[in-house]
């Protein structure tokens, strides 16, 4: 298993570029099923989750070719409608094939994704919406089987603004007969990116980014070329990296509006954040102030930044209260951070972090993607060396994180099975 070795206390300085967004790429790759022929995606991050989604598409019969960060998906060989348990186990987001497969074939069978490291993560909202569109769903022997003789538009009100459910329903609706309304839809920027991609294929989708999305079904879709939006969570992670090392970093390739909740929180913590047209400069001197954080659906503070902010809050002069409202079990990083000297107490969905003056380096393990990111950040600031094991989780969502941080002056080395890389 690969690991990172980080020699701490290095001030990060310089310029870093953010890759394309993981959470845009995954649904957009599955949406490539919906067109006729080839789609080209630009600025696709070459990260583990995206490679798994490419494998899912290939398994279904598509051909996926890479040229740098450009990906070409040719769906002319598409023939299968089933995703095995082993593929589903590799990545939960494989469930995003459900909507597109129903749109194209009127049927799909996927292994039930079950729980994951951060919570039980049900699919009831996906299922409820699809049923309203005329899909018959059976759950048996760990599989979800979906079938529709004809997909019809429906008026759907989600109980929770689920990102995945909104995406699956949007993708099922583009080829349905009539109009679909998704109310209480997720408003994350990745939904807008998906809408733009689908409209590029010839779909009629309006309202993404707001809480009602309207989709007027069309008979067929074509091909398109699309550039993936920058990854706001990667950008946020680098902002915290600059802050936690009391550094000065310019982060390029961002959309400033997507960074508002993170920028506001960092400013509240005394970090200097200067937003440019498509970049942000983050400077910090001295310890951050303690701030309280509550994760919420967009435009609230993202749950995917909660572990990273906890690492920063570990070094304040006060006490911060973190409330996790999205996932019930998203404190897997706490035990590992404690090994590094973080003083944190968790009760249910609330974590209380008492700032300390310095963190210790330690042997720790990445338990999930953002938990792993929080350990890297803590390691960058720690007094001595940190070794992070199981960084396969970090590879799921960050492209060359060690390379990028080395360019900013960090002493971070990847130790692969075969030696240093
Ligand atoms: C997406 C993101 C993930 C992020 C999450 C919340 C992708 C690939 N992943 O995950 O990085 O952390 O949004 O911003 O885009 N829920 C239900 N019923 C459902 C579906 C969801 O109750 O049918 C609940 C979940 O348990 C959770 C909440 O809704 O409590 C949000 O989940 P959801 O928005 O669906 O997350 P994902 O799309 O899985």
Rounded average pLDDT over 222-228: 97
Atom of ligand 1 nearest to the CA of 92: 39
Could you tell me the distance, in angstroms and rounded to a whole number, from the CA of residue 7 to the centre of ligand 1? 35
In this predicted structure, what is the pLDDT of residue 141? 87
125 in contact with ligand 1, CB cutoff 6 A: yes
Whether residue 369 contacts residue 394, with contact meaning beta carbons closer than 8 Å, is answered with yes
The catalytic position among 38, 39, 62, 116 is 116
Average pLDDT over residues 158-164: 97
Q: How far apart are CA 239 and CA 266, in angstroms?
A: 8
pLDDT band at 88; cut points 50, 70, 90: confident
Binned at pLDDT 50, 70 and 90, residue 116 comes out as low
Would you call 42 helix, strand, or coil by DSSP? strand
| Whole-number pLDDT of residue 115 | 53
Over residues 185-210, the pLDDT tens digits come to 999 999 999 999 999 999 999 999 99
Residue 163: CB partners within 8 Å, gap ≥ 6?
23, 186, 188, 190, 191
Provide the token pair at 166: 């909104």
Please provide the average confidence, as pLDDT, over all residues in the chain: 95
Distance CA 314, CA 326 (A): 22
Instruction: Indicate whether 418 pLDDT > 90.
Output: no
Query: What is the pLDDT at residue 142?
Result: 86
CB < 8 Å & 24+ apart, contacts of 340-344: 340/314, 340/364, 340/375, 340/378, 340/379, 340/382, 340/386, 341/314, 341/382, 342/310, 342/311, 342/314, 342/378, 343/314, 344/310, 344/314
What confidence score (pLDDT) does residue 421 get? Answer: 61
To 10 degrees, what angle do helices 163-173 and 98-105 make?
A: 10
Contact 31, 197 (CB under 8 A): yes
Q: What is the pLDDT of residue 282?
A: 98
C-beta 30 within 6 A of ligand 1:
no
The dihedral through the CA atoms of 104, 106, 109, 114 has a sign that is positive
Burial of 80 (0-12, 13-18, 19+ CB in 10 A): middle
179-183 and 38-42 strand pairing? unpaired
* Residue-wise pLDDT tens digits, 31-65: 999 998 999 999 999 999 999 999 999 999 999 99
Nearest alpha carbon, ligand 1 atom 7? 23
Q: Which residue minimizes the CA distance to atom 15 of ligand 1?
A: 23
Cβ atoms of 368 and 388 closer than 8 Å: no
Of 63-72, 118-127, 263-272, 406-415, which gets the smallest average pLDDT? Answer: 118-127
Most confident of 104-113, 116-125, 392-401: 392-401
pLDDT in tens, 314-350: 999 999 999 999 998 899 999 999 999 999 999 999 9
Confidence of residue 363 (pLDDT cuts 50, 70, 90): very high
Q: What CA–CA distance (Å, rounded) separates 231 from 187? A: 16
What does residue 58 show for φ and ψ, rounded to 5 degrees?
A: -65, -40
The closest residue, in CA terms, to atom 11 on ligand 1 is: 304
Residues paired with 272 in a beta bridge: 283
- 251 has which bridge partners? 16, 280
| Cα atoms in the Cβ-side hemisphere of radius 13 Å centred on 229 | 24
Identify any residues that bridge with 275 across adjacent strands, giving them in sequence order. Answer: 280
Q: Rounded to the nearest whole angstrom, what is the distance from the C-alpha of residue 288 to the centroid of ligand 1?
A: 30
Atom 17 in ligand 1: residue holding the nearest Cα: 122
Give the distance (Å) from ligand 1 centre to CA of residue 23: 11
Nearest to 191 by CA among 218, 176, 175, 169: 169
Does the annotation count 32 as an active-site position? no
Region of residue 24 (left: phi > 0; alpha: psi -120 to 50; beta: else): alpha
Given this model, what pLDDT does residue 120 score? 65
pLDDT at residue 412, rounded to an integer? 98
**Residue 23 Cα distances to 15, 53, 94, 208, angstroms:** 24, 11, 12, 15
From the list 136, 176, 234, 185, the residue with the least C-alpha distance to 34 is 176
Rounded mean pLDDT of 85-98? 90
pLDDT of residue 328: 86
What are the φ and ψ backbone dihedral angles of 173, each rounded to 5 degrees?
-75, -25
Task: Please tell me if the CB atom of residue 122 comes closer than 6 angstroms to any atom of ligand 1.
Answer: yes
Query: Is the CB of 93 inside a 6 Å radius of any atom of ligand 1?
Result: yes
CA-wise closest residue to 189 among 19, 18, 21, 370: 21
Confidence bin at 170 (pLDDT 50/70/90): very high
The upper half-sphere exposure of residue 270, i.e. CA atoms within 13 Å in the direction of its Cβ, equals 16
| Tens-place pLDDT, residues 242-255 | 999 999 999 999 99
The answer, yes or no, to whether any atom of ligand 1 lies below 6 A from the CB of 324, is no
| CA 330/CA 225 separation, integer angstroms | 36
| Model confidence pTM above 0.85 | yes
Evaluate: CB of 164 within 6 angstroms of ligand 1. yes
Task: Pick from 156, 160, 301 the residue to mutate for probing ligand 1's pocket: most ligand atoms within 8 Å of its CB.
Answer: 160
- Strands of the sheet containing 143-147, edge to edge, are 82-83, 107-111, 143-147, 136-140
Whether 160 lines ligand 1, by a CB cut-off of 6 Å, is yes
pLDDT for 19 equals 98
On whether the CB atoms of residues 330 and 324 are closer than 8 A, the answer is: yes
Q: Which two tokens stand for residue 269?
A: 């913590």
Question: Quick one: how far is CA 322 from the chain centroid?
Answer: 20
Query: What does the pLDDT average to over 401-406?
Result: 98
């Amino acid at each position: 298993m690969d690991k990172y070795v980080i020699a701490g206390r290095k001030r990060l300085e310089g310029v870093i570029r953010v890759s394309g967004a993981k959470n845009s790429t995954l649904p957009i790759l599955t949406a490539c099923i919906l067109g006729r022929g080839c789609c080209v995606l630009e600025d696709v991050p070459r990260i583990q989750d995206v490679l798994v989604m490419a494998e899912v598409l290939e398994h279904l019969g598509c051909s996926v070719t890479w040229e740098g960060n450009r990906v070409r998906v040719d769906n002319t060989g598409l023939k299968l409608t089933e995703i095995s348990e082993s593929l589903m186990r590799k990545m939960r987001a494989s469930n995003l094939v459900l909507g597109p497969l129903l749109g194209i074939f009127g049927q799909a069978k996927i292994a039930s994704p079950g729980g994951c490291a951060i919570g039980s993560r049900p699919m009831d909202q996906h299922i409820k919406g699809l049923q309203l569109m005329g899909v018959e769903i059976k759950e048996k022997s760990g599989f979800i089987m979906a079938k529709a003789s004809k997909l019809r538009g429906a008026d759907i009100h989600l109980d929770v603004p689920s990102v995945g459910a909104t995406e699956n329903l949007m993708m099922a609706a583009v080829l349905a007969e009539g109009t679909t309304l998704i109310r209480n839809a997720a408003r994350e920027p990745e939904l807008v990116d998906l809408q733009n991609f689908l409209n590029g294929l010839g779909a009629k989708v309006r309202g993404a980014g707001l809480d009602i999305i309207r989709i007027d079904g069309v008979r067929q879709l074509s091909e398109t070329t699309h550039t993936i939006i920058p990854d706001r969570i990667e950008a946020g992670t680098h902002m915290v990296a600059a802050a936690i090392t009391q550094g000065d970093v310019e982060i390029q390739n961002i959309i400033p509006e997507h960074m508002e909740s993170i920028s506001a929180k960092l400013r509240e913590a005394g970090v200097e954040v200067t937003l440019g047209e498509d970049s942000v400069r983050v400077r910090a001197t001295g310890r951050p102030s303690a701030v309280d954080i509550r994760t919420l659906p967009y435009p609230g503070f993202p749950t995917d930044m909660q572990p990273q902010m906890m690492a920063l809050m570990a070094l304040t002069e006060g006490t911060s209260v973190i409330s996790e409202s999205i996932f019930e079990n998203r404190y897997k990083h706490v035990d590992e951070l404690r090994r590094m000297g973080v003083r944190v107490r968790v009760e249910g969905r609330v974590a209380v972090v008492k700032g300390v003056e310095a963190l210790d380096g330690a042997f720790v393990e990445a338990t999930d993607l953002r938990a792993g990111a929080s350990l890297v950040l803590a390691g960058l600031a720690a007094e001595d060396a940190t070794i992070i094991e199981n960084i396969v989780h970090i590879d799921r969502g960050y492209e060359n994180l060690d390379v990028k941080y080395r360019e900013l002056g960090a002493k971070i080395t990847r130790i692969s099975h075969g030696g240093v890389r």
